[in-house]
Amino acid sequence: MKISKIPKMLAKNRTGIDAINTVRDAREISKRKLPKMVWDFIDGGADGELAVAANRRSLNEIQLRPRFLTDVSNRDSSIQIFGNKTELPFILSPSGMATIAHPQGELAVAKAAGRCGAIFCVSTASGYTLEEIAEVSDARLWFQLYLWGNEEVVESLIDRAQISGYEALVVTVDVPVVGKRERDLANGMSLPVRIRPRNAINTLRKPRWLLGLLNGPDITFANLAGFAEGDDASSIGEYTDRELVDQTRTWNDLEIIRNRWNGPLLVKGVMTPEDAINAVDSGADGVIVSNHGGRQMSFVPGVASVFESIVHAVGHRAEIFFDGGIRRGEDIVKARAVGATAACGGRPWYWGLAAGGEQGVEKILSVLAADVDRTLALLGEEKYVNVDQRYLYR
């Protein structure tokens, strides 16, 4: 082997935080650290994964108009969301089971978000309880809820989030059934995680991850412990499938939640102007335009393709957030240019967590923050809030 090749090889195999300069770096490092079934669970989408690709493609098609020789010395990426200032216009989307990527899971994510001035939306399916997460960080926290059939569970989660100081409630509406994730089926991936003959060899090749799994908390829907017959992962998993998923839910049910929740209410998973109007008419203060990162269905367009039609329909009646395919700060600025209040993302922080725990998430958020700042300078704009459709090439 040529000696000159060694530095390149070493660079390729660097797995520390300092090797993360982009979201793509974190994705690659996490690929080396996680068993294939876990990495595919995070990376994959539903069916043919066309919606995953469409999210990226539709963002790539947006181009921004730079203007030069304007004074951009006083830049500011902050934004007001529901009356409070947030430094980073990026919300960490609710993504369940973060303990699968790192034993510190959502605790690490909440701490990193707090330090970077970002909002973290905690999933109902978090690996730690919503109380445990609220306790460890001063980040602004939102709580995501599914419109499940069991009133007792739904009401208790709403009340617990309220008592623990969560600022907003996000109701995810795009899961009447769970999408068919072909990679998960092929890998024998399930929640709770089970090591099966199909995934055993690959899992054993990642001893550090396995050690974390064995020493860390049980990988389960921690918020639901106490509702299922047992508190172990498989009882809770079976309980969720059997008791909670409810396909009879309608927009009327949102109004019931609206009446119980004291604070901003958002609906996540909207992909049409009609549903955005339904959400706002049912009392939502915010709409998260999202196809669940392509994880629920493959047949929908990318978020950027439908975004402006939804902004047009909703007007100033609600805040509108962009969720899906954000990988760089320039994407966060593009989201603003098509009319978003701010952008949201799931896989970027998830990969950061897998790659480097709390510091990995912090690194991803600081990379995105620096990207946004640089993009503003290159656009000739000092303030993120001022970015609008004037910055779009049409």
Ligand X SMILES: Cc1cc2nc3c(=O)[nH]c(=O)nc-3n(C[C@H](O)[C@H](O)[C@H](O)COP(=O)(O)O)c2cc1C
Q: Give the footprint of ligand X on this chain (CB under 6 A).
A: 42, 55, 93-96, 123, 125, 144, 172, 268, 290, 292-293, 295, 323-326, 345-347, 350
Structure tokens at 266: 């958002």
CA dihedral defined by 181, 187, 188, 193, rounded to 10 degrees?
A: -90
Question: What residue number has its CB nearest to ligand X?
Answer: 346
Q: Please name which of 308, 306, 314 lies closest in space to residue 277, comparing C-alpha atoms.
A: 314
CB of 85 to ligand X, least distance (A): 23
Rounded to an integer, what distance in angstroms lies between the CA atom of residue 116 and that of residue 136? Answer: 15
CB of 6 to ligand X, least distance (A): 35
Residue with the two structure tokens 């899992």: 203
Structure tokens at 210: 């396995």
Query: Looking at beta carbons only, is 45 or 381 nearer to ligand X?
Result: 45
Mark whether 312 is an active-site residue. no
Q: Please name which of 321, 330, 375 lies closest in space to residue 94, comparing C-alpha atoms.
A: 321
Rounded to an integer, what distance in angstroms lies between the CA atom of residue 293 and that of residue 22? Answer: 19
CB of 145 to ligand X, least distance (A): 9
CB of 74 to ligand X, least distance (A): 30
Q: Please name which of 164, 163, 146, 167 lies closest in space to residue 224, comparing C-alpha atoms.
A: 146
Please list, in sequence order, all residues whose beta carbon lies within 8 angstroms of the beta carbon of residue 143, skipping any fewer than 6 positions away. Answer: 121, 122, 124, 130, 157, 161, 166, 168, 169, 170
The active-site residue out of 102, 292, 312, 316 is 292
Query: Looking at beta carbons only, is 237 or 293 nearer to ligand X?
Result: 293
Query: Looking at beta carbons only, is 45 or 356 nearer to ligand X?
Result: 45
Query: Looking at beta carbons only, is 124 or 375 nearer to ligand X?
Result: 124
CB of 100 to ligand X, least distance (A): 8
The counts of H helices and E strands in the chain are 16, 10
Query: Looking at beta carbons only, is 104 or 144 nearer to ligand X?
Result: 144
Structure tokens at 3: 């000696």
Rounded to an integer, what distance in angstroms lies between the CA atom of residue 73 and that of residue 89? Answer: 19
Catalytic residue positions, numbered: 292
